[in-house]
Amino acid sequence: MTVHALDRDTPADYSTAVEAYLRSAGIAASSQRIYRISLLTWAWLAIGQQPPLGRNRRGAEPPTVAFAMFDEAPTDVIAEMFAQRARLVDADTVNRELSVMKAAIAWWRARGWLTRNPIIGIERRPAPPDRTRALSREQIVALSDLKVSVRERTLWKALYETCARAEEILCLDVEDLLLADKRGRVTSKGGTVEWVHWQSGTAQLLPRLLKGRTRGPVFLTDRRAPAHVPTRDTCPVTGRARLSYRRAAELFEALTRPLAHPGITDPAELEARGGWTLHQLRHSALTHEAEDGTNTPTLLARSRHASVRSLERYARPSVEPWPPTSPTAIPYAAGSEAPPHELRRGALPLIPVDFLLDPEHVSKSTPRTVRRR
């Protein structure tokens, strides 16, 4: 095993090392917040403590930990603290924290800041499959009918019509929009710059939201930005700050409680049960398109997933009956007899996602599109 000598610029404390990684490792601005939260979780674990849970985590200052501790602390202590955390939160959370930490450690070791891997031997926790159903089309219509501000209405409509992630849409600047083309430039996972496309609903709402603004964040808070807010997150016209994901999620959850539980009127019970999540809009849009028979290449383009296998979660039906009544919307498997309207020149079969996920038809290592000859 090769041991690297520590560089002279090795950070003294862990939080400084975290910021150096986020700043220099090519982490997209839209992802830095969740990366920071995930990495700072390990500051508590390194000293044998558990980070606060739920709302108590907001604003909680992580302990000051010497960066050298990750070279010195016994790995079994960190592993035990991680195991305890895995019993307190869901598997998706701890697996994300583990994956982010592994990437950061590799980056730090490549620079000689660490001589060992302090989390070696820690394995991912098995995550149960996500059985959350997509919203029905009637629920999407009811959401559009809610009496809310133009900002909320535009955000929700854009998330559904673009199938984009909430962080991507909230990070949009006015300069990223091509209003005439109904598309916008977003920075997705990994820092890739891509286009998202919307429909007439979003196209009609955006001019009302922008009110002639040509610069700055698209979605703004109701108040002027505090002095510490970066310039890129402040509107040069109004002085207001960019709407954060946390605030947007809180508003959506609170405003959708009556729709999520239509038979309940008690505010306390509604608060306890909770509303919908912003991610359900993306999930619902892709599920509805799959139900309508959208072919696999189009679904990949809309979701911007790299692998066909990632589409499996959207193959689950929503709360509406399936299949649809329109025969033109029903996909058929490759090799089966196509209905007459599909036999026109150049037509391709609309292949169900489940067919593409069958190991008999598609390689696990090299997903590919199956076409009819």
Task: State how far the Cα of 278 lies from the Cα of 193, in Å rounded to an integer.
Answer: 22
Domains of the chain plus CATH, in order, are 14-110 (no CATH), 147-255 (3.90.15), 281-357 (no CATH)
Letter string b/e over residues 146-174, b meaning 16 or more CB atoms within 10 A of that residue's CB: eebeebbbbbbbbbbbbbbbbbbbbbbbb
CB 350 within 8 A of CB 293: yes
Q: Give the per-residue pLDDT at 320.
A: 52
- The pLDDT averaged over each successive group of 10 residues in the chain (373 residues) is 54 93 83 89 91 85 91 85 90 88 93 91 75 81 94 97 94 96 89 91 97 95 92 94 94 93 86 88 91 84 77 59 44 42 40 45 41 39
Q: What is the pTM assigned to this prediction?
A: 0.58
Contact indicator for 303, 163 with CB cutoff of 8 Å: yes
* Helix, strand, or coil (residue 46): helix
Residue 367's pLDDT is what? 42
- Residue 243: predicted pLDDT: 95
